[in-house]
Each structure stands twice: as C-alpha cells, then as structure tokens.
Chains A and B, each alone.
Chain A
Amino acid sequence: MDQKLWIEAFDTAVDAGMSWLTDHGGAVFDLLRAALEGAFDGLLAGLLLLPFWVLAGAVGLLAARSLGWKAGVAAGLGLALCQAIGLWPETLETLSLVIISVLLAVLVGVPLGVAAGYSPRLTRVLDPVLDLIQTLPPYIYLLPAIAFLGYGPATAIVATFIVAAPPVVRLSALGFRQTPVEFIELAAATGAKPLDAFLKIRVPFALPSVMAGINQSLMMAFGMVVIAGIVGSGGLGETIYGAIRKLDIALSVNAAIAIVILTIIIDRISQSIGPQTKEKA
C-alpha cells in the first residue's frame, strides 16, 4: 500500500513539474514547435506541388546516376507505386519528416563529430552519452518529446533527431580522425593554413565516413518516423498505426510496402552517392 501512495505522489509531482515548465518555459517550446512544424509544412507543401512523376523521375535519375539505369528505373517505378496505391501524400509526409530530422542531425552532428575528432577530451565525454542514446529502445524518446511539444510532426522530428544524431557524430569523428598521418604532416610541412589543411586534406579523407554516417542516420530516421505514427506525426507511420488498431489488413500492407520501398531507395542511393572509401595504397 505504501508503494501506491508513493507512486501517486510521484505522478502528481511530475504533473506539477510539467505545469511549472509549461508556464515558465512554454514560450521556448512553443517557438520550437512552431519552427519545426513550419519547416515540415513548408517542405511538404513544396513536395506536394510537384506532380508525382516529376519526383519519381528525379529520384530515378539520381539512382541511375550512382547505381546504373536498372536501379534508376526500379527507384522511379517504386515511387510511382506509392502513388498508385493511393498513399502519395503520406509518403511525402514521411519523406519530409525524415529529411528535416536528418538535416538537423547533420547540422548538429557533423560539427560535433569534427570537434570530437580533434579533441580526445570531448570524445571521452561524448562516448558514454552516445552509447546510452544508442542502447535505449528508440520508442521511449517519444516521451520527452510529447511532454514538451504535444501531438504532431514536431514531436516526431525531435525524437527522430535524437535517434539520428549519434551515427552522424560518431562516423564524422571517425572520419576526421582517420586522415593518414603522412598527409597531416604534409600539410604542416608545406605551411598550409589550418583552414586550407582542413578543407583540402582532412575533408576529402573524412567524406566517405561522413556519408556512411548520413546513411546510418537516414536508416535510423526511417525506423523512428514510422514509430512516431503514434504521436500524430502524419505520414505512413500514422497510417500504419491506425490500420493496425483497426486490424485493417489491406491498408497496413499497402503502407508497409510504401515504407519498405522508400527506405530501400533512400538506403541504396545514400550508400552510393558519396565518394567510396579510399583504399590506402
């Protein structure tokens, strides 16, 4: 009986804490929410303007450029299939969520990773944090997000950002640490300015790793935005969640097909689009 009272007290305290935070810090969260939803709405509106075959064709061309014409055709047809099964708007919503989340993850993660690549102390601080984020089941990141941002795409984006950032940070750091020593010495020997050394020597060597990080980030993001369907994120995730609850087999299969198609296309393209790992001579 004791425990029940303690839990009730805990829950009440949490609710009180939430109220306090909303009263005092509400503006910050509202701003964040507005910004994220604005970005989402804007990107989505832009994508929806395009006729589906333009987007399908563009993606197909992109795939063809780095993977060959057969892959390009498959990619284009895959996207066209999403339209054909009547889930084009949802597909674009999911795509928008992924793009914004990964964009944020890259904007935050790459500089952080570069800094960590240069600073062993930062790495020592970051590693356990990243470890923790990557160990925990992604589902739970929805909890803090929904506490502060409520239902909607903003919550989905924040939770997805949390899940998508660690791979980018880790692989960027790895990439920048991997510049062969000879080249670093070359830069020093030729008296290159730090910025030049950075851009001309470090970056090219780090690029394959950074691209791998972005690929991993995209995959984690796809997993997460679908899970986020439960918080009203829109997109195929919400479709699947609703379909499963109603045991609507047809809709859930269609939505699943759309997601798998989208995931595979983005995965293959992002794996092949960057410079491939340089073989050391």
Chain B
Amino acid sequence: MTGTALFSPGAMVAPVIGWLNTNAHGLFNAISVAVEASLGLVEAALLVIPAPFMAALIMALVLWRQGRRMALLAAICMAVAGGAGLWVATMQTVALVTTSVVIAVATAFPLGILAARRPRLEAILRPVLDLMQTVPPWVYLIPAVMIFSLGKVPAMLATVIYGIPPMLRITTLAFKGVPRELVELGAASGATPLQTLTKIEIPSARKTLLLGLNQCILLSLAMVVLAGLVGAGGLGAEVTRGLTRMEMGLGLRSGLAIVAVAIFLDRISRKALE
C-alpha cells in the first residue's frame, strides 16, 4: 500500500549520481584506491602476526602503559574475540575503526581549534553539526553506497563523516576552556604561536580532548558494525549473517566479540584520561 507518489526527489537524485559516476569517475576511483590502500595496510599490519603473538603483544603494550588491571581486561577481551573464532573479523573491525578515527580526528582537530578561535566560524558550523548529529547514522551510508557501491570504502567514509561532529564539537569546547591567562602568559614569555599551542593549550585541554576521542571511537565502532550491512566485513558482517540467517550461535559469538571490542576500546581510551 505504498501511496501514489506525487513526485520523487530520489528519482531526481539518481541521474545526478549517474552523472557523477560517469564524469567524476576518476576522482571517486582515486578516493577508493586511497581508502582501500590505507585500510589494507592497517589490516595487514594487524593480521600479519599470528593471533596468539598479536594478543601477547597487545597485552604487553597495555601492561606497559596502563598497568596490570587493564592488561587483564585486554587479555579477557582478546580471549573472547579469539575464542569465538572471530579474530580475523575482529582485526578487520579494529582496522576500520582505527583508520576512520585517525582521519576523523585529523579533520576535526584543526577545524575545532579554528572554531574555538573564531566565533563566526563556530556560529556557521553549529547548525551544520547539529543537523549532522540529529540524523540517524544510516543516512551517511546511503550516499556513500550510492557512489562507492557496497564494500569497505563507503563504510569508512560514512564512519569518518559520522565521527567528525562529536570530535569537532568537543575540540572546540576543550580549546575554549583553556584559561585566557595561560595563553597570555605564553605570549608574554615570548612563545611562538606553535609553542603556545603545543606546550600550553593542548596540555590544558587534554582531558576534554581525550573524552572527545573516546566518544569518537565508540560512535565509529557503532557505525562500523552497522556498516556490516553494506559489505564492510568484520564483526558487523558476522552479526548481519547471524541475523539474516537466524544463526544464533554465530549471532551470540559475534555479539560477544563486539562487546569485548567495545569494552576494550572504551576502557583503554578512558584510562588514557588519567
């Protein structure tokens, strides 16, 4: 009983996409290649070492930087992922999340600082960011899939775009929260703008920035998992398989692996706050 349509905005968009695909093909191809290359690199790096050694390596890293309790948590989480037979999928998901977060932060961080210093820029950005954070995450996948078809590339692009607003907002908040006196002190002692930034502002804003990073990571994970629906691979694809084929065992295992990854990423990034 889909109602009779008076008109269809979507039908107007389709030829635009078709035109873009034909004419901007080179550009989209270049983006695709770049994305797949960087993603492939990270994935390969995570998977080249056999699982048990990788797990040990990660545990050692966590132990060194964050202590015994976190290392234990890391061990449990990785045991769950590996024990569920989903190590490869887990690494794929982690690769996707990491690469997306890095790009999102690289974009949002400078923009956020700029917005903190220029109220007019902030005023322009605010409604855009508002809108971006109101729409459901699904909406980002649609244009990405239309242009880049199913696969990892639309997943990563959508995740990057989804991760930018929270990071940007919190960066702006963090830098606006740096006490003016500190910045002026820097200027008074003859620090260059770069020195002021790296030695005064960033350390002062550190806690809030890391909070933003934590948010960005978790939202990106949610998006990456969702993107399993559009061929992004990783744990999201396993969940989708479990759902669509009603394979409860697989569903449970992939669900547990996702819980493990989420808790791991959350705790590690929050611990870095302290």
A-chain residues with CB within 8 Å of residue B226 when the two chains form the complex: 137, 139, 227
- A7 and B146 alpha carbons, distance in the complex (Å): 37
Q: Is B138 an interface residue (CB 8 A)?
A: yes
Contacting B10 at CB < 8 Å: which of A85, A222, A241, A267? A85
Nearest CB of chain A from residue B168's CB, rounded to whole Å: 19
Please name the residue on chain A nearest to B263 by beta carbon: A135
**Contact in complex: B14, A249 (CB < 8 Å):** yes
**Contact in complex: A139, B6 (CB < 8 Å):** no
A side interface size, CB within 8 A: 57
A-chain residues with CB within 8 Å of residue B17 when the two chains form the complex: 249
**Contact in complex: B4, A86 (CB < 8 Å):** yes
Please name the residue on chain A nearest to B259 by beta carbon: A136
Per-position 1/0 for B141-158, Cβ under 8 A of A = 110011001100000000
Please name the residue on chain B nearest to A266 by beta carbon: B134
Q: Is B26 an interface residue (CB 8 A)?
A: no
Q: Is B249 an interface residue (CB 8 A)?
A: yes
B-chain residues with CB within 8 Å of residue A197 when the two chains form the complex: none
Q: Is A32 an interface residue (CB 8 A)?
A: no
- A257 and B12 alpha carbons, distance in the complex (Å): 13
**Contact in complex: A250, B11 (CB < 8 Å):** yes
Please tell me the size bucket of the interface on B: 35 or more
**Contact in complex: B5, A7 (CB < 8 Å):** no
- A146 and B255 alpha carbons, distance in the complex (Å): 13
**Contact in complex: B252, A256 (CB < 8 Å):** no
Contacting B145 at CB < 8 Å: which of A137, A144, A244, A259? A244
Q: Is A230 an interface residue (CB 8 A)?
A: yes
Instruction: Report A125-147 residues with CB < 8 Å from chain B CB.
Output: 132, 135-140, 142-144, 146-147
Instruction: Report B59-113 residues with CB < 8 Å from chain A CB.
Output: 83-85
Q: Is A157 an interface residue (CB 8 A)?
A: no
**Contact in complex: B258, A137 (CB < 8 Å):** yes
Contacting B255 at CB < 8 Å: which of A86, A135, A143? A143
**Contact in complex: B248, A223 (CB < 8 Å):** no
The main secondary structure of chain A at its interface with chain B is helix
**Contact in complex: B2, A18 (CB < 8 Å):** no
**Contact in complex: A137, B136 (CB < 8 Å):** no
A-chain residues with CB within 8 Å of residue B142 when the two chains form the complex: 240, 244, 252-253, 256
**Contact in complex: B229, A140 (CB < 8 Å):** no
B-chain residues with CB within 8 Å of residue A230 when the two chains form the complex: 229, 240, 243-244
Per-position 1/0 for A188-204, Cβ under 8 A of B = 00000000000000000
B-chain residues with CB within 8 Å of residue A227 when the two chains form the complex: 136, 138, 226
Q: Is B3 an interface residue (CB 8 A)?
A: yes
Q: A11-B247, A85-B10, A253-B10 are in contact. Are A136 and B262 (CB under 8 A)?
A: yes
B-chain residues with CB within 8 Å of residue A137 when the two chains form the complex: 221-222, 225-226, 258, 262
**Contact in complex: A140, B85 (CB < 8 Å):** no
Instruction: Report A110-131 residues with CB < 8 Å from chain B CB.
Output: none
Q: Is B236 an interface residue (CB 8 A)?
A: yes
**Contact in complex: A7, B8 (CB < 8 Å):** no
A-chain residues with CB within 8 Å of residue B221 when the two chains form the complex: 137
19 A-B interface contacts by CB (under 8 A) = A7-B85, A85-B10, A135-B266, A138-B222, A139-B226, A139-B239, A143-B242, A143-B251, A144-B255, A146-B251, A244-B142, A244-B229, A247-B145, A249-B13, A252-B10, A253-B14, A255-B10, A259-B138, A263-B134
> 19 other contacts beyond A136-B262, A222-B136, with CB at 8 A cut-off?
A6-B83, A86-B4, A135-B263, A138-B222, A139-B225, A140-B259, A143-B242, A143-B251, A146-B251, A226-B138, A230-B229, A244-B141, A244-B145, A244-B229, A244-B230, A252-B10, A253-B13, A254-B9, A267-B134
**A contacts, CB < 8 Å to B:** 3-4, 6-7, 10-15, 18, 83-90, 132, 135-140, 142-144, 146-147, 219, 222-223, 226-227, 230-231, 237, 240-241, 244, 247, 249-257, 259-260, 263-264, 267
